[in-house]
Structure 1
Amino acid sequence: MVAMFFSEAGARPWTWEASPSEHKKWVEVFKACDEDNKGYLSREDFKVAVIMLFGYKPSKIEADFAMSSVNPNASGILLEEFLSIVRKKKEVRLHWNEIRHIFTAFDRHYRGYLTLEDFKTAFKQVAPKLSERTVLDVFRHYQCKKKNGLQVCLQGSRSRLRWSCQL
């Protein structure tokens, strides 16, 4: 139902492509972190690459997840696997920021939640043809969407709608 709102409201689908310069940077980071030019990244190499690209050290769970995506016959993360992981991380980060930005724009009083009136006002601005009944149904509905490791939840009650996001 929330997806219906976003499509009717004209929200963009979740698609993103890396620019050639960004892709080149990722390849350079892979090569810089590939000690001894072995053609793959070990767990430690991968952690350094994430630090270089995203500015944080990945958790054990994140590193385990990346290593689990490796071909069992390989000794580490190959370039194409690395590029896929980085693209997904970048896409998730962009979507998280976009969704948070939209919610924050609707949260005009900076409370961290939307009241029913806030919600109605927001939808009158972005989707004026939606019926009030439809807006009320969404407000009262609990919806979580999961895409590329990002879970976005709009948790509704009779009086408030909270936004949360988990990677």
Structure 2
Amino acid sequence: MFFSEAGARPRTWEASPSEHKKWVKVFKACDEDNKGYLSREDFKVAVVMLFGYKPTKIEADSVMSSVNPNTSGLSLEEFLSIVRKKKEVQLHRNEIRHIFTAFDRHYRGYLTLEDFKKAFRQVAPKLPEQTILEVFREVDQDSDDLVSFKDFEYAMNYGRNEA
């Protein structure tokens, strides 16, 4: 796919020392009775504190099933690893949203072929129009001549986990 070949993979991201301290502080605040781990409910509260939403049952099940079976919950190291991954995904999605918004100059919530042509003319003026058309057709998953954010996000993430 064009976007993965063009290197649209996310950059490696590291938490700042202050952000890391915040995560540890949240872990400790949610670790009732100082057990040294987060229970399922503790984890949900921590996610609300850090990300502003309550995790779904599926997300909580997924996280808790990844916990070492010899422990009673999520250790600090496991929690920090999960938070780091969630933060990377959040930042990557925000970056994709920013790019989509830059293409969507009329704020319609979708992109047309003309939007693609204008954007590519600015960033790659010598790119053949046929290539722009091929990219547009590839990104337009449902072939309705409109690229939704969902289509665009899918294209930007295509091949992301292959390397």
Under TM normalisation by the shorter chain, which class is it?
A: 0.7 to 0.9
Deviations 1:75-125 (A, max 9, x none): 100111100110111111111111011101111111111111110111121
Is the 2:10–2:92 contact (alpha carbons within 8 Å) kept by the matching residues of 1? Answer: no
The one-letter code sitting in structure 2 at the alignment partner of 1:28 is K
- 1:159 match: 145
Question: Map of 1:1-167 to 2, 5 A cutoff?
Answer: 1-5=2-6, 7=7, 13-142=10-139, 155=141, 157=143, 159-164=145-150, 165=153
- The structure showing larger relative contact order (alpha-carbon pairs under 8 Å, at least 6 residues apart) is 2
- 2:161 match: none
SS of the residue aligned with 1:141? Answer: helix
The CA deviation at 1:139 is: 0.6
Structure 2 CA distance, aligned partners of 1:4 and 1:129?
18
Larger proportion of strand: 1
Structure 2 CA distance, aligned partners of 1:34 and 1:109?
47
Identity %: 76
Deviations 1:19-69 (A, max 9, x none): 000001101111111111111100011011111111121111111111111
Deviations 1:111-165 (A, max 9, x none): 11111111011112122332222211111014xxxxxxxxxxx636362222215
Change (3 A) 1:41 1:79: same
Is the 2:48–2:54 contact (alpha carbons within 8 Å) kept by the matching residues of 1? Answer: yes
TM-score (norm 2): 0.84
Is the 1:106–1:114 contact (alpha carbons within 8 Å) kept by the matching residues of 2? Answer: yes
Larger proportion of helix: 2
Structure 2 CA distance, aligned partners of 1:118 and 1:4?
21
